[in-house]
Amino acid sequence: MFTYTYLQLIGYDIKKIINAALIIPRKLFKFHPFYGEIVMAIIKPPPIAVLTLELYIPAAGSLKAKRQVVKSIKERIKAHYNISIAEFGETEKWQTATLAICTIGNDRRRLGQTLQAILNKIDSWRLAEITQQQIDYL
């Protein structure tokens, strides 16, 4: 009630402010008790890192064998790291797989270190050869 009264006194219309908050994404309007005014705070999204891997699986003689290797890689990584992982792209090819591994956190450098550790683990298991890799930050 105090916020609404304050806004009327200084010439702002509460309905316009609420409408602006709904239209502008990632903006938050709230009353700041110390300064006694409306503060518009920008909510910065946390960094997201995505590792895209293309794998060559020479031992896969069938689609079933390929899926077993991909499932094994996915389960091992999920057991050690708090990440999301999915296979995408051409899933019907026997000896190739494309994986996307995504993680979110507070520090971009830490995300890069985590993805590099995942990359090193996959390479050390020797279940598949990494033909291409790419790390993107959102």
Tell me the pTM: 0.69
Is the per-residue pLDDT at 8 higher than 70? Answer: no
For the chain, the structural domain boundaries read 2-42, 48-137
> 84-133: per-residue pLDDT in tens?
999 998 888 989 999 999 999 989 999 999 999 999 999 999 999 999 99
Tokens of 51: 């590792």
State the architecture of 48-137 in CATH terms. Answer: 2-Layer Sandwich (3.30)
pLDDT band at 16 (very low <50, low <70, confident <90, very high): low
- How far apart, in whole angstroms, are the C-alpha atoms of residue 98 and residue 88? 6
Quote the pLDDT of residue 113. Answer: 96
pLDDT digits (tens, 9 = 90+) for 47-84: 999 999 999 999 999 999 999 999 999 999 999 999 99
What CA–CA distance (Å, rounded) separates 78 from 129?
Answer: 19
Strand locations in 12-128 (E): 27-32, 37-42, 48-56, 84-88, 96-104
